[in-house]
Chain A
C-alpha cells in the first residue's frame, strides 16, 4: 500500500517555476559577492592599519633594544664566540633579560596580524574571481 500512496502523492507534488533554481543560485552568488566585498574591506583595512602600526612599533622596539643593552650582548656572539659557547647558559639568560618583552610582543603581534590579513585578502581576491566566473 505504501508504494501506491507514494506514487499518488508524488504525482500530486507541487512543481516550482522552471527558473526557481536559477533565481536561488543568483541570490547565493549575490550573497557571496556581498560577503566577499565586506571581507575584502575588513581585511584590507586591518592589514593597512597593522602595517601603519608597524612603523612606530619597530621604532619603539629598536629604541628599547639599544637602551636595554641587547645589541651589546648580541654582538658578543660574533666578537667572542668562544666565551659565548663556554658560558652559553649565562649568555642566554642575559640575552633574554635584555630583550624588551612588551615592544617585541607588540611588533610580532602586528606582524602576525598584517600577514594574516594579507593571506585572507589574497584568499578573498581569488574567491571573488571564482564567484565572478561561477556567475558567468
Chain B
C-alpha cells in the first residue's frame, strides 16, 4: 500500500479497508509534525497532529478529490487546527494576525531576481540546520508558513494559497519577502 497514491488509499478506506487510514497516518504524521511544530510550537505539535487526524477521520467521507488534493486538504486542516490551538492558548500574537494588512504593499523585494535573493554565502550559512531553524523561528509566522510549505513540503504556490487561504500573488510576494528577510537575518 505504501506505493499507492493518496487518492487510491482514500478510495480503499471509503470501501471499508480500515487499514488504509493507518497508511495515511504513517504517511503524513512526520510532515504534519514538522509543519505544526514550526507554526504552533514543538511541544504542542504532537497534540495538534493528533487532533488534525481525528478531524480528517471525521470528515474524510465528505472530502472531494476533484476539488483539492489530499495533501492540500490535510495541511489546511492542520493549519486551522494550529490556529485554533494557539487561539485557545491565547499565545498567538495579535501582530501575527494583523500582519496580513500590508500584504498587497509593493515591496522592493519584488524587483530582485530570484537567483540573487539568497547569495552563496547565505546558502552556506543555511547548511547549518540548527542555525537555519533558529533563524526560521525569528521569521514572521506567515513568511515561515510559506517557506516550510514550499521547500519542505514541496508545494506549489497555488497549493500554498489553498492551504493558507491566500491569493496566488500574495503567496508569491510573501515567498520573496520571506527569502529577503531570511537573508537579512542570516547576514
Contact = CB atoms under 8 A, between A and B. Distances in A.
Interface of A: 1-2, 4-6, 8-17, 20-21, 23-25, 27-28, 31-32, 130-131, 133-134
Chain A at the B interface: SS class: helix
26 contacts: A1-B123, A5-B126, A5-B151, A8-B151, A9-B147, A9-B148, A10-B151, A13-B30, A13-B34, A14-B33, A14-B34, A14-B37, A14-B38, A14-B42, A14-B133, A16-B29, A16-B46, A16-B49, A21-B29, A21-B30, A24-B50, A25-B22, A25-B25, A27-B50, A27-B54, A31-B54
Interface of B: 16, 18-19, 21-22, 25-26, 29-30, 33-34, 37-38, 42, 45-46, 49-50, 53-54, 57-58, 114-115, 117-118, 123, 126-127, 129, 132-133, 136, 147-148, 151-152, 154
A20 B22 contact: no
B110 to A, nearest CB: 17
Contact of B132 (A2, A9, A27): A9
A10 B29 contact: no
A1 B118 contact: yes
B183 to A, nearest CB: 11
B175 to A, nearest CB: 11
B46 A23 contact: yes
Given A5-B123, A16-B45, A28-B54, A134 B33 contact: no
Contacts of B154: 6
Contacts of B25: 21, 24-25, 28
A13 B46 contact: no
A15 B152 CA distance: 12
B127 to A, nearest CB: 6
B160 to A, nearest CB: 14
A32 to B, nearest CB: 7
A5 B154 CA distance: 11
Contacts of A23: 46, 50
Contacts of A15: 30, 33-34
Contact of B152 (A10, A17, A31): A10
A4 B123 contact: yes
A15 B115 CA distance: 29
Given A9-B132, A15-B30, A24 B53 contact: yes
Nearest to A26: B50
B152 A28 contact: no
B49 A13 contact: no
A8 B152 contact: no
Given A21-B25, A130-B18, A131-B18, A16 B50 contact: no
